[in-house]
Amino acid sequence: MATDAVRRHDPETKTFASDNYAGIHPEVLEAIALANGGHQVSYGDDVYTEALQGIFRRHFGDQAETIPVFNGTAANVVSLRSMCAPWEAVVCPATAHINTDEGGAPEVTGGLKLLPVPAPDGKLTPDLVDRQAWGFGDVHRAQPRVVSISNATELGTLYTPAEIKAVCDHAHGLGMLVHLDGSRITNAAAALDVPLRALTTDAGVDVLSFGGTKIGLMLGEAVVVLNPDASRGLPYLRKTSMQLASKMRFVSVQFEALLGGDLWLRNARRANAMARRLADAVRDVPGVTLPRAVEANAVFAVLPADAADRLRKRFRFYNWDEQVGGGRVEVRWMCAFDTTEEDVDAFARALAEEMRAT
């Protein structure tokens, strides 16, 4: 069938700015086409959204309840709103996405009080939780109710199942709940070679924001309630947060493509492997240092700012920290499910060329 749409980009262009830059995995596109045609009930009462519950329960247990939303910010805010009363607060790392990269959405649309904790590696521990988990019963202090962690973290580090369990056990002992921002939970599970439930259900996580867009979906994330007692009013909060899709079948069927088989694992392994390849390729380039271990699909590097600016004209990426000093910046390079060996090698060659020109 003819279309008037015009391709306005080079489909061969790859960047290392974000795994969000990648397109839709072909198997996900096929699933969307499969769900097309004819009529299905709107607003989530379709057969694909009904099937989605069973798909998530295979990964997270029979108690899991799942609702799709449009994006990651919504998944986090809706999750946390369902876990907190208006007078309660969320303990999180200072580097958490909810604290630094969601435009104040938790506060503005969620009415949530965030209690950030400095965490140099992006990870909370029971001791770090205690820096903000205090003042229970004090009417002058927002009551700590939820601990929110990310896996993989914003610094590319990973929590092991034992580390998550330690945080969960400690939080539960304080009468608190645990939310996990899993925008890259598939990358974490693939890197650690564990099932998804090992990092969530089995470790004691109460509510999960499950990421789909970064791992091959067109759009869509999911709120997964693992502890039914931890969340209230979720369907209503989704609606009042403007996250109830009318044609939800096209969101839900993407998760079936991703999680029904091993697509999530293949995509995550590819992205992680390309990050390791990239780190190996640039590690010995004179003038470039890698300040953080590569644990998932992110590579952090420190290099001269002028070299970074020149390289960015060839391959888009973002500065992470411009306060390094000495004319140097820390940058972040992300690999995606569609990053290839050739992409990595071309980027490494370009980096070496720009460093020689510095």
- Average the pLDDT over 115-142 and give the result: 98
Mean pLDDT of 273-301: 97
Cα–Cα distance measured from residue 267 to residue 336, given in angstroms and rounded to the nearest whole number:
8
Average pLDDT over residues 206-217: 98
User: Each residue of 313-333: b (16+ CB within 10 Å) or e?
Assistant: eebebeebeeebeeebbbbbb
Q: What is the pLDDT of residues 144-176, one digit of tens each?
A: 999 999 999 999 999 999 999 999 999 999 999
Indicate whether 53 pLDDT > 90: yes
Confidence at residue 1, expressed as pLDDT on a 0 to 100 scale: 58
26-259 and 263-356 share one fold:
no
* pLDDT tops 70 at residue 236: yes
Q: Are the CB atoms for 219 and 75 separated by under 8 Å? A: no
Q: What is the band of 3 on the pLDDT scale with cuts at 50, 70, 90? A: confident
Judged against a pLDDT cut of 90, whether residue 123 lies above it is answered with yes
Q: What residues contact 185, with CB distance under 8 A and at least 6 apart? A: 151, 152, 196, 199, 200, 208, 210, 211
pTM over the 0.85 mark: yes
Indicate the domain borders of the chain: 26-259, 263-356
Q: What is the pLDDT of residues 24-44, one digit of tens each?
A: 999 999 999 999 999 999 999
CATH match of 263-356 with 3.10.20.30 = no
Query: Nearest CA to 18 among 276, 344, 318?
Result: 318
Considering the four listed CATH numbers 3.40.50.880, 3.20.20.140, 3.40.50.300, 3.40.640.10, the one that applies to the domain covering 26-259 is 3.40.640.10
Q: What is the pLDDT of residue 299?
A: 98
Cis peptide before 245 (omega within 30 of 0): no
Asked whether residue 87 carries a pLDDT value surpassing 80, the answer given is yes
